[in-house]
Structure 1
C-alpha cells in the first residue's frame, strides 16, 4: 500500500540528471497521470540544492504511458539563482516524450501572508469511501483504480448534482477529503511527491459534476496539470480537495482546486484541463 507508493517514487539514478522510474503494478492500459507527475517531480528535486523548496510545477501530458516498461526522466537545469531555481523534465518511453514538467524552487523567505477561508464541510468520517462509490456506480476501471490507488484514503463529500448546497455562481463543484493511508517519513519531499500522485485522481470528475452523464460514456484524459505549493503540510494527514470547474467546452473541461488541512490552512492550489469527449 503506502510502501508500494514510496517504492514507486524512489527513482533509480542512471547518469547525471538522468533517472528511471519503475512501472506501477496495474492492469490499466495506460500510466496514471499522477504517477508520471510525481516521478518527474522527484527527478527534478534530485538535482536541486536542498535549501530550496518546490513552490510550483506546470506540466503537459503528451502521450499515454506504457504500463509495461519503466519511464526515463531527463532533467535540464534551466536556472540556479540566489532565490529561485528552475528545472525542466522530459519523461520518455520507447524513445518518445510522453510528458513535460517545469518545476520552480525557492529558498524560503518571509513575506506578506493571507489566504482564503476554508469552507464549512463535514468531517472525513462523514464522507463516503471514494473507491467503494466508484465500484458501486459501475465506473470504468474501478477495480483497477482501487488497486492503483490502494495507498490513498479518499472520502467523497458530494458534487453539484448530489450532496453539496446549490451555488448558482459555480455550477460544477466537487469536494472530498484525501490522505495517504499510512504514515510517511518526515521528509517534506516525500509528502510533496505523494500529494502530487494523489492530486490527479478526481479533477476531471469535477468537470462532469454539472452534467447528468455516465462516466463510462465519456472519454477522459488529463491534458495538463499545475500545482502551486503554498505552505508545508503532511500528505498522510487529511486534506480537503475543494474542486470547482469554471468551464467545459469543445470536448475539454477545466478544473481547479483549493487544498486545505483540517485546521483550515490553505496549503496548495491545483489546476487541470482534460479531455471529456462524449463517446
Structure 2
C-alpha cells in the first residue's frame, strides 16, 4: 500500500476502531506523522539534543531518524526487564521512567534512578542483557535504535560518518574535536597546521564554533558569534573546550564556549544558532573583479616571487629562506599587486577563497571553515596604509565577531571584500566579520615616521573590516 493510501485510510477511520499492528513500524510511524506528534525533522532535532549523540555528524542523525522504532508504554508498564536480551538503545522522547535493579541504590544519587526526555539506556549489542528494570512512571514514548544499526553510533569523525580521514580536507582535520564528556571537547594543533609561534586565532574560532555546534540539534546553524582572544595558545598542549548552554529555544539557541590550557581560560566565544527559515532578502551589487580561474593562488604567487628576476635578490632570498607552511585554504587576491608591497595603499582588499581538498557535507562544518578563514587576512588589511620601507610590524587578534547571512557551503570559491572602517561583506552574502587587533611596530628606520599620532613602539587600532 502506498503512503498516500495509508494516510487516507487513517484519516477516514476513528481512532477507537483503528486496528494497528504494533509490529508494523511503518504504519505506526505514519500514524504519528499524520497526527502531528512526530515527523522526520522533529526526530532529527530530538536526536541532536541527546548527549550520547553529540559526537555524531548530522548525516548520521538523519540516518538514525529513518530507522528508529517508536514504542509507547503506559504508566506502570515495563519498558525493559532485567535479564532480558537487549534489542537496542532506547531514547526517551517524552515521559518519565524509573530504573530498578539489584545494585545497591543507597550508594548512588537517587536522581540517577529516574529517566526523562533525552535520557537513554540499553545496549547496542544483540548478545548483551539488560542489567535492570525500567518502568514507566508516566506515559512514555521511546525511540529504539536496534542493534543491527549500531554502526551508526560509531562514525569516522564528528563531521563524517563513512569516509576515512585520509580522504578529508586538511582544514577538516584541523577542526576535528574529540568528545570528552557531555558538552566538553578536546582539540589539538596538528604538526602541519598553520601557526605563528602560537595557536592561530582562526583555529580557536573554528574549534570553539565546532564544539558549540555539536551541542545543538543539527537543524540549528550558527548565524553569529563574538569571541575574545585572552592569552596566547601553546602549540604543544591540547585545548579543552567547555560549552555552556545559555539558551535553548525552539528556533534559537545560545552557547558560550571557554577554551582552556593549563587550567587557564585562553579564549572565549559566544555563538547564536537559528533554525533555517524563509525571510526578506537583499544584497549588494557584485563588484567587477577577475574570475577566480584567471588569478594565481597565494602558493603560486609565492613561487613566482621567488623566481621573478625583476624583484630585488635580497627580497627573493628572504622569501625562499622563510619556512613555508601551506595553508589549508586556497586564497586568490583580486589585485595581488597591492597585497605584498612596502609602500602605502588603500586599506581594502578583495579575494576569493575555498577549502583545499574535499569537505564533508555537514553544513555546520562549512560554517566552521568560514569562521576559521575569517581570522586570516582581515587584520593585515588595516596595515596597508602604513606599509613603508624600513617599517616592520606584527598584528594580533583581540576581539572578533562574525555573522552568517545565508546558507554557507564552501564547495566553490567565495569572494570576500575587506574595507577598513566598515564591516566586511562577502559578495555572495554569506558573512560579515569585524575584528579588533593589537598592532606592534617592531622596527622603524626613519625615526621621523609618525603612526596614528604616536611616536611610541605600540598602538591599538580598532578596525571593523
Q: Deviations over 1:238-274 (max 9, x none)?
A: 001200011xxxxxxxx742123xxxx3111111111
Matches within 5 A, 1:85-104: 85-104=253-272
Report whether the alignment pairs 1:201 with 2:376: yes
- CA apart distance, 1:129: 2.3
For residues 50-108 of structure 1, the C-alpha deviation after alignment (integer angstroms, 9 at most, x for no partner) is 22111011101111110111110000000011221100001011111111100000122
**Aligned position for 2:191:** 25
Structure 2 SS opposite 1:210? helix
* Of 238, 242, 245, the match for 1:77: 245
| Residue 323 of structure 2, aligned match among 133, 140, 143 | 143
Greater per-residue strand proportion: 1
Tell me the distance in 1 between the aligned counterparts of 2:392 and 2:320.
9
Deviations 1:20-62 (A, max 9, x none): 0021215641001111100000000011122211101110111
Q: Which residue of 1 aligns with 2:334?
A: 157
CA separation in 1, counterparts of 2:302 and 2:278? 43
- Say if 1:65 and 1:142 are closer, same or farther in 2 by CA, change over 3 A: farther
CA shift in 2, pair 1:142/1:237, >3 Å: farther
The corresponding residue for 1:227 is: 402
Larger radius of gyration: 2
Contact 1:241/1:259 (8 A) holds in 2 = yes
8 Å CA contact retained: 1:160, 1:172: no
| Alignment correspondent of 1:66 | 234
Residue 207 (structure 2) pairs with residue 39 (structure 1): yes
Secondary structure of 2:209's counterpart equals helix
| Pick aligned residue for 1:6 from 139, 157, 172 | 172
160 and 278 in structure 1: CA distance in 2 versus 1, 3 angstrom threshold? farther
TM-fit CA distance, 1:175: 1.2
1:258 aligns with 425
Q: Is the Cα–Cα contact under 8 Å of residues 179 and 239 in structure 1 kept in the other structure?
A: yes
Between 1 and 2, higher relative CO (CA 8 Å, sep ≥ 6) is seen in 1
Match of 2:430 among 253, 260, 267: 267
Q: Distance in 1 between matches of 2:188 and 2:359?
A: 20
1:126 aligns with 2:313: no
Q: TM-score, normalised by structure 2?
A: 0.52
**Offset at 1:160?**
9.5
**Distance in 2 (alpha carbons) for counterparts of 1:259 and 1:139:** 30
Q: Which residue matches 1:166? A: none
CA contact (8 A) 2:380 2:395 kept: no
TM-score (normalised: structure 1): 0.84
Aligned-pair CA distance for 1:155: 0.8
Residue of structure 2 in register with 1:48 after alignment: 216
SS in 2 for 1:60: strand
Structure 2 alignment gaps of length 5 or more: 1-165, 306-314, 443-465
Stretch deviating more after TM superposition (236-245 or 27-36)? 27-36
Say how many residue pairs are matched. 258
**Unmatched runs of 5 consecutive residues or more in structure 1:** 164-169, 247-254
The CA deviation string for residues 113-143 of structure 1, in whole angstroms up to 9 with x for no partner, is 1122221111112323224546746579963
Counterpart in the other structure of 1:251: none
1:175 aligns with 2:354: no
1:236 to partner: Cα distance: 3.0
